[in-house]
Amino acid sequence: MCLVLAACGSMPKHYNTRGTDTPEISIMNAPEGSTLLLDGQNIGAVTAERHIIPVAKGSHDISIMNAGSVIYERTIFIENGTRKEIDLSTIPTK
């Protein structure tokens, strides 16, 4: 049981907040050199700065890559007026 709880502390945090009417994804604390893929499309570099990406309502595949490896991968559903916050500060860096 302790091992399971200890592993949970190293997972990226993600949660919903209220934003503008347009659905948004917010990426925070990405390791240097990370790249965002949204629905299979390369959106570009993300850094430790907060990046807010407007998206359409519905399901989206999100992948964040660093040094050739996927460090975050989720399928999310987002509704109008919602911002999905993804905090990568707990991901170990090399």
Low-confidence ranges of the chain (pLDDT < 50): 1-9, 15
Whole-model pTM over 0.85: no
Domain ranges in the chain? 2-87
Q: Taking a C-beta distance cutoff of 8 angstroms, is the pair 35, 64 a contact? A: yes
**60/21 Cα distance (integer angstroms):** 17
Instruction: Look at residue 16 in the predicted model and tell me its pLDDT.
Output: 54
Distances (CA, A) of 18 to 9, 15, 46, 74: 25, 10, 22, 20
The CATH number of 2-87 is 2.60.40
**pLDDT, tens only, 60-84:** 999 999 999 999 999 999 999 999 9
